[in-house]
Every structure is written in structure tokens, then in C-alpha cells.
Structure 1
């Protein structure tokens, strides 16, 4: 059981929706054949790192995803503008993990529930509609012109909830995300996902869960 929590903040990409699986499906629809997901992922990682290092002005995920889609298209010889444009918005149509919608709904009856994501405001709006996610508010790192794990992204959640960090539980399937949240004083819970970043033996998160129902039980059992 985790006590003393007043708000629950969820990472979205990878934690509530299957980002790699959704992107891989969209790429295969546009370009059947080779697995080109690594081409996409390398571009996203590289450009977000450039922004974090000050080598590129901030650009939201809609911009960077469009660049990644063009990279994939160039790699595969895809020239259909409509197909490339649809691929560029693949991040708006990512499938939820099977327990995401029900787990969020359960928690939202007891706590303010927020999404905190590197995805753009527009992407979060469409993800919410597509995946049926129920949160009270979705926060995009676009609001602070930065990407997680920058500390200002986590402070955005603290400012929005109005809670002290030790009363906020950050939930993610990525250990790097939780480590960054810890540095701001937030409580942390790791939830296992097949494509996540598992904790190292040196990590000291407040709790580890196999799925969202287990997390919801731990938070709502009195």
C-alpha cells in the first residue's frame, strides 16, 4: 500500500499506450517489408537530445514525428504524399495497453489523475480520443518547451496539482523517467510493460507493479 498520495501522474507514451507497437504497425502499413521502426526511433532520440543540449530550438513531437516519417519514407523509397502525411501522425493513434482505460478510470474515482507526456498537446488530444484514456488533465511538455527528463516538465505537474512533490505519485514504465521525477521530490511507481525500461538493481522507487490493477489496489485499499 502507498499512503499519503493526493494526485497520480502518469507517463503516457509506453506506459499507457504501446508506442513501439503502434508506430511499427503504422510504418508497416505505409511501407510493407523491412522493420524501419529503428530509423524512426533514432531520429526522435537524436533530435530530442539536440534540443536538450541547446543545439536545436524546441520543436514539438508533431514536427519531429513528421521529420521521422520523411526519414522512413526516404529510406524505403516511399513518395506518396498522402501516405507520408498519415505516417507523420502515427503518434496520434497508438493503441492502449489492455489495462490502461480501466485502471485510469478506477484511480480517477479517488484521485486527480494527470497524464504528463513529451507528446504535443495535439497528439495528447487525439491519443485520448483514440485510446479511450480517462484523465482529469493531460499535460504536454510543450508547455515548458522541453522534453523529459528535464526537471521543468515534472515541475509542471507539481504546479498544476498544487500538491507538494511528496504527495504526488509519478507512474511510468521507464526507469529513466522515474529517476528524473525522484530528483524533484516526487514519489515513484514503476509499472511493467513489455517495451519499457526496467529498473536497475540500484533504483529505489517507492513501488513496483505488474499492471495498473495492482497499482490501483495499492492506492485505494484502506
Structure 2
């Protein structure tokens, strides 16, 4: 997969006082970012739709929108904005933490989507993907734990939404050859990375988006992708 499609990586959309890991975008900033995309003729879509369109040569003007971890604010704050703009997205959910909080972080506690919220956003047309079972760094797992992280998380999510779960996002963006091959062997159609050494369908690079990303920074990130791709979106 070279050049790679343009994919933006979000996490949380919420009001905040402190955000040491820079995972949160304020609701007002998020709304402006979505408006910025639409004003430039770009449409946010989920990863499945983006990759299918790309394979058919119809991905011009499409931008992948991904949201890692499955925060509850995705359902309450992000999805209403996405639907209002006619955008899609993919939410990568930590299956073993549904309805709990981000226990893997040492920052502020954030609630994660419940079963009901996940079903609701899936019914609204949002793609649900796996972000593992417990949000562990996969290179630190043995082969058995790695298989459980990949297979059990997908089975849990498929049972929850009653539909296939085709995508995976590597927790922390940590994945080497072993992990990428394991995701492929587990039957996932694609996987999202952050900055892979060798982009592929199972190591799709993404551009981080945070609360500091106003119009100039958004434009710079889109232009950087266009230059790498060699053509305009």
C-alpha cells in the first residue's frame, strides 16, 4: 500500500482541564476540524469504506477518521457531529474494558463506551474495530497472549454488534513483523498503525490529530500527505 491513504487518528472528544498524553480534542475544536474538512471538499469515512473505495479507484476526496480506545465521549460528543456532517468513522474498541475506564493510562480517568453505546453507534453506521482485549503493547506478549488479544477481542465485539469486525488498531501503535503477521493470520482485513516502517494493508499509517490542530496545522498535515502521494485529494 504505497502511497497510503489519508487517515486521521483521534482518541477522545471532550472538555478537559489536563490532558498529559494529548489524547483529547475539545468539542468546539472537533467541530471546527470537521467543518474545515467539509469546506475543502473532503469527506470523513470509516476505514472499511476508505479501503474499498481505494481498491476501486474511487477514494479521491475521502479521509479516514479513526477513534482509538472507545471512549464514551465518542458516542455522546463525536458521533452527533459526524452524523450532522454526513461523515463516517471507525471506532477501535478495547473489548475487555467496555463500560469501564482507561486503566492503561496514568492520566485522568475517562469512561469507556458501554455495550449499549457501542450498539447504538454501530447502528448509526459507524464501523467498529478491535483495539485488543486489554490495551497491552503487543510486542511484549507471548504467542498465546497475542492470539487471545486478537481473537477474543474480535469475537466479543462481533457478538455485541451482530456484525463482522474486520479492522484492528495496534495499541500504542506498537507492532513489528510478528504482530502484523499475527493480525493478518487472525483474519483481519486491515490494521491501523501510526508510523510503520513498511506501510501495508495491515500496517496503515495515520496522522495524529489533537486539540492544537487548527486550520494551519490541519492544512499542513493534508498537504504533507498529498506531497507523499504525488497528487491532490
TM-score (norm 1): 0.36
In our comparison, the structure showing a higher alpha carbon Rg is 1
TM-score (norm 2): 0.35
Query: Which is bigger in relative contact order (C-alpha 8 A, separation at least 6)?
Result: 1
Greater share of helix residues, 1 or 2? 1
